[in-house]
Amino acid sequence: MAATTMATAAGAVLLLYYALSRRASSIAEEEDSTVGGDYSESKSRSAKKRKWPIGDLAFGINYLIRRQELAEARKKKRKKHYSLEQAISLFEIFCFGVCPRLVSEALKKMKGKISEIASSHVSSRVLQVFMWFHRTCVKHCSQEERNAVFVELRPNFIAMSTNTYAVHLVTKMLDNAPKEQLAEFISSLHGHVASLLRHMVGSLVIEHVYNLGNATQKQALLVELYSPELQLFKDMVTVKETRLVDIISKLKLQKSSVIRHMTSVLQPILEKGILDHSIVHRAILEYLTIADKTSAADIIQQLSGLDLVRMIHTNDGSRLGILCVKHGSAKERKKIIKGMKSHVQKIAHDKFGSMVLVCIFSVVDDTKLVSKIIIRELESNLKELILQQSGQRLILQLLHPNSTRYLTPNDITSLGLSIPSLSNKATPSPYLLLCTLFISELNDGEAVEEEKKDEGDGVDTSILLNEGGKKDSLKRRQELLVNSGLAEKLIDACCEMAGDLLRSKTGKDVIYEVVTGGADGILHPTLDEKLNMLYEAIASLASEAKVDEQKEEHLLEQFHSSRTLRKLVLDCPEFASTLWEKALKGKIADWVKGHSSKVVKAFLETSNSTVKELAKKELQPFVKNGDLSVE
């Protein structure tokens, strides 16, 4: 008996190999007939044909199926607990790998057994192959066939969602599902959202669906976490009410009962550490908008620690991180920072995670600890950090804090959040969180990023955050940036990478702030000597001769660098002087056209009056003869 099965398996593998090598050789065509040569010798029949051996294959498969069925029928008689997956997997893997058209056949064979197969781990792999196949070979598999699978699985959705293996099929299936099926799946979850979310495996499905769903569907999942009544009257909730407070007032729910219900839902989730999901982040955030002082403080205490790192990669998670930093006690802040140890680089490079670090820089008074853990780790990879969009925000926050030039509206909203019941301010702050949340809802997403002013001429209004530390903010920055040694390393990095930074869309802001000495002149006078070296470094790059066949555009002519240099000439008198002396004096004729003319013209308005006079004299003739246009 065993021998028969072995022979079947061996036969299948052989045939598979054969078919694949046939395909390979037909692709390679005449080039190399020795590919699979061994096989064409042993199977002389195939050597004659150069076509896809579909006839052979069908024959072979039928033969194999019959043999296997026979063998299995016999086996079944003998063994009571015969496992279905053995019967199917070999055949299916074989089919999917070789001949797409046989999938329908496979489907027929599996009919009525799919959820059983999906729940056992061996064949759920097979089903994954099958689902993959569905996606890539839509031509060969009809929508009807896919619908049939969906319909067959429907009664088992909840059970499958908590099965370690079947969950893969469920998520794969949802990825490819048409809208109606997704909607149907979501309504089948109705009444089970909270319990699934408490389940390690089940929570994966909820999160998956939450990410796939549209706003209405997201909301439908969330409201089940708010109140048991909403589970019954789900249809009452329309998409217009997205905030929990609004839902409470619209549906005249009892706030205390919502708090009670949410506590009972969220507590087990927190205890089990199911913290990676964005739906959980959103639910906790909403909970904090209504929670009383004690419950809110309790949540902050529970989240502040190692686990916070797992949450701050989503927008809502990062907001929770910010709230923990702001409302946490000194002890909790310490735990948060220590929990970030050895993850700092990763957090810094994350769009949302980096905002928690920005917040730490703004409010934590224990600068020794922040330097020791966060600054040290950032320094280890400073060059990469200042060229990366999220990473550079941290450096910019120290150089020029709370700037709307460098932070997006969404960032600013996040930094401005506070928990109503824990807010120090007696006045209307209960609504602040809610209002700002609402604003951010409107601004959510990438669109905001696009709006960020590219040119430096944007208005820079600094914002005020809510719950700061006790320390003077300039002193805190001084300690974090200058005393920690970060600034020195930063200037070194800028010297080394001046050209790259000036030419890069993301790097130019950092070098601009460093050259100008940061807000409040934070780098002066301690680092003046080093800054002079940086001015020299930039000026010497700018003084390079203009060669047509250069690999990189000249610093004075490249789009970003010319604009940044222009701004620097306007804003930084020391730099204007160095650049004039080293790079432009006597060479104006080369630079009066194109992007570089912006730099040249800036000297007519520079903040260094000595240089301004010198430049005026030299530029006058070019203005007169019309080479340099000043409007």
Ligand X SMILES: *[C@@H]1O[C@H](CO)[C@@H](O)[C@H](O)[C@H]1NC(C)=O
Residues at the contact surface with ligand X, assessed by CB under 6 A? 179, 183, 214-217, 239, 362-363, 401-402, 462, 465, 468, 473, 573-574, 577, 581, 608, 610-611
**Which of 531, 538, 533, 489 is CA-nearest to residue 514?**
531
Classified as helix, coil or strand, 462 is: strand
Nearest residue (CB) to ligand X, 302 versus 362: 362
Nearest residue (CB) to ligand X, 92 versus 574: 574
CB atoms within 10 A of CB 34: 9
Query: Measured between alpha carbons, how far is 274 from 502 in angstroms, rounded to an integer?
Result: 44
Nearest residue (CB) to ligand X, 371 versus 608: 608
Question: Exposed, middle or buried: residue 305 (CB in 10 Å: 0-12, 13-18, 19+)?
Answer: middle
Closest contact distance (angstroms) between CB of 543 and ligand X is 15
Helices and strands, counts by H and E, the chain: 39, 0
Q: Which residue's CB atom is positioned nearest to ligand X?
A: 465
Nearest residue (CB) to ligand X, 379 versus 581: 581
Closest contact distance (angstroms) between CB of 470 and ligand X is 10
Closest contact distance (angstroms) between CB of 265 and ligand X is 24
Secondary structure letter of residue 235 according to DSSP: G
Closest contact distance (angstroms) between CB of 486 and ligand X is 18
Q: Using an 8 Å Cβ cutoff, are 507 and 392 in contact?
A: yes
- Taken in order 329, 330, 331, 335, the sign of the CA dihedral is positive
Q: Using an 8 Å Cβ cutoff, are 285 and 218 in contact?
A: no
Closest contact distance (angstroms) between CB of 216 and ligand X is 4
Closest contact distance (angstroms) between CB of 336 and ligand X is 16
Q: Using an 8 Å Cβ cutoff, are 359 and 353 in contact?
A: no
Nearest residue (CB) to ligand X, 258 versus 415: 415
**Which of 622, 489, 492, 498 is CA-nearest to residue 560?**
498
The residue behind tokens 């799946």 is 185
Compute CA distances 631 → 455, 601, 619, 626, 628, whole Å: 19, 10, 14, 11, 10
The structure tokens listed for 219 are 């909301």
Within its chain, how far is the Cα of 477 from the centroid? Answer: 29
Closest contact distance (angstroms) between CB of 573 and ligand X is 4
Closest contact distance (angstroms) between CB of 521 and ligand X is 12
Closest contact distance (angstroms) between CB of 254 and ligand X is 28
Q: Using an 8 Å Cβ cutoff, are 392 and 386 in contact?
A: yes
Query: Measured between alpha carbons, how far is 410 from 416 in angstroms, rounded to an integer?
Result: 10
Question: Exposed, middle or buried: residue 473 (CB in 10 Å: 0-12, 13-18, 19+)?
Answer: middle
Closest contact distance (angstroms) between CB of 519 and ligand X is 7
Nearest residue (CB) to ligand X, 462 versus 550: 462
**Which of 238, 244, 226 is CA-nearest to residue 441?**
244
Residues 6+ apart with CB under 8 A from 244: 226, 258, 286, 287, 289, 290
Nearest residue (CB) to ligand X, 32 versus 472: 472
Nearest residue (CB) to ligand X, 127 versus 325: 325
Query: Measured between alpha carbons, how far is 323 from 403 in angstroms, rounded to an integer?
Result: 20
